[in-house]
Amino acid sequence: MAVLMTNLAEAAGGGAGAARREVNLPAPPATGMLSLEEALTQRRSAREFTPGALTLAEISRLVWAAQGVTAPERRTAPSAGATYPLEIYLVAGDVAGVAAGVYRYLPRQHRLEAVAEGDLRVPLAAAAVDQKWIGQAAMVVVIAALFERTTVRYGKRGERYVHMEAGHAAQNMLLQAAALGLGATPVGAFNDAEVSRLLHLPDSELPLYFIPVGRVSR
């Protein structure tokens, strides 16, 4: 746990004495071990995980694949009118050097911002119609969206675009997990209100998709 303290940088801000804690992620390498074709072939939903913490390098690549910045005001996943409505949350349970808790990914800084403390994997699994296997994943990525960023420009049709974008980000992450030899599965069945409560989501955001990730035997 000593490592943990070095990775959690106390920063100014946060109300009522709540320090904002941030986790700096290593820069994602520009190359990987698998070709795109190999990752596409090997991607398979996994619901059985073997014990083993994820590393900071792995979660860095995963969140970067979902929403990493690749050029000024551009990200790994396409976005209608570059409005970027998605927010990526990590429910970390077994990540080396990262305290169990909820974190929000800050794409521009490639950093995690702590939102809540404690291991929420099992309550999250309960909120996902009690799919117990989700509680066994080392972490669960939750893709949430702030619809107004897109609907302010495209009106009602923007809602459709936001759902499409969640699919783009999820698929990027699933392929990255395959490329890293990790197991990951998209999950759509959960109680929105309960997940929003657990993750302390602002009223303006709605959870859209889970991606539990963990080690698997191959």
Ligand X SMILES: Cc1cc2nc3c(=O)[nH]c(=O)nc-3n(C[C@H](O)[C@H](O)[C@H](O)COP(=O)(O)O)c2cc1C
List contacts with ligand X (CB under 6 A).
Answer: 44-45, 47, 131, 185-189
Least distance from ligand X to the Cβ atom of residue 217, Å: 16
Q: How far is the CB of 144 from ligand X (least distance, A)?
A: 15
CA distance 34 to 93: 27
- Token pair belonging to 128: 């996902």
How many residues are given for the chain?
218
Nearer to ligand X, 56 or 195 (CB): 195
* CB of residue 39 to ligand X, shortest distance in Å: 13
Nearer to ligand X, 7 or 131 (CB): 131
User: Looking at beta carbons only, is 11 or 189 nearer to ligand X?
Assistant: 189
Residues 187/134, Cβ–Cβ less than 8 Å: yes
Q: Closer to ligand X at the Cβ: 117 or 130?
A: 130
Q: What angle do CA 102, 108, 114 make, to 5 degrees?
A: 20
Nearer residue to ligand X within complex by CB, 132 or 200: 132
99-104 contacts, C-beta under 8 A, 24 or more apart: 99/4, 99/8, 102/198, 102/199, 102/200, 103/23
Q: Among residues 92, 103, 111, 96, which one has the least CA distance to residue 3?
A: 96
Provide the minimum distance between the beta carbon of 186 and ligand X in the complex, in angstroms, as a whole number.
4
Fill in the amino acid letter for 50. T
Residue with smaller CB distance to ligand X, 24 or 42: 42
Return the residue nearest ligand X (CB atom): 188
Q: Shortest distance, CB of residue 67 to ligand X, whole angstroms? A: 18
The set of residues, in sequence order, having a beta carbon less than 8 Å from that of 121 and lying 6+ positions away, is 91, 93, 134, 135, 136, 137, 139, 140
Q: In the complex, what is the shortest distance from the CB of residue 190 to ligand X, in angstroms, rounded to a whole number?
A: 7
149's CB contacts (< 8 A; 6+ apart) are 83, 84, 85
